[in-house]
């Protein structure tokens, strides 16, 4: 597994309010958004996404979001679907817990989830719409 964090997803209770905070409040420029569902900000080699907290918990297969779920998922984007499976296996071998096996997604990718030994949630995904350069930097693909 290459050493990088691709996305930081913040689980929020009110997506419109969170978007206003980052966009109008902090002056960040939205890179992409699906109205009412998700907002992406291109950072310096990293993407910050805002996603409904309950939807994030459901996506990861967490049935009791208040029970140890902190409303955030770190994401590692892989270069291929096969790499997703390999990274999930590597994380498990290293002492992580497989939370959700990799599977096809509604947005056209492939992803699964694991937690590290301290319970921090990681998504491992292949997103064909977010290219990864040779340095491991991810982008929204529209810039």
**φ, ψ for residue 86 (rounded to 5)?**
-65, -45
Q: Does the global pTM surpass 0.85?
A: no
30 pLDDT exceeds 90? yes
**Could you tell me what percent of the chain has a pLDDT over 90?**
60
Q: What is the mean pLDDT of residues 48-74?
A: 83
Tens-digit pLDDT profile for residues 83-132: 999 999 999 988 899 999 999 999 999 999 998 887 889 999 999 999 99
* Closest to 137 (Cα-Cα) out of 64, 46, 29, 57: 46
Structural domains for the chain = 7-126 (3.10.180.10)
pLDDT digit string, tens, across residues 69-89? 778 898 999 999 999 999 999
45, HSE (Cβ side, Cα atoms, 13 Å): 8
* Structure token digits, residue 55: 């939807």
């Amino acid at each position: 597994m290459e050493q990088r964090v691709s996305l930081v997803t913040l689980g929020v209770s009110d997506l419109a309010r969170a978007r206003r905070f980052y966009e109008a409040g902090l002056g960040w420029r939205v890179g992409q958004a699906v109205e009412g569902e998700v907002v992406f900000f291109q950072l310096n080699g990293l993407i910050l996404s805002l996603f409904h907290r309950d939807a994030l918990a459901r996506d990861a297969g967490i049935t009791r979001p208040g029970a140890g779920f902190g409303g955030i998922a770190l994401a590692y984007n892989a270069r291929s679907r096969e790499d997703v499976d390999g990274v999930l296996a590597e994380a498990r071998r290293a002492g992580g817990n497989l939370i959700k096996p990799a599977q096809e997604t509604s947005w056209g990718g492939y992803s699964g989830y694991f937690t590290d030994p301290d319970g921090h949630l990681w998504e491992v995904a292949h997103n064909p719409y977010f290219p990864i350069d040779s340095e491991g930097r991810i982008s929204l693909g529209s810039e």
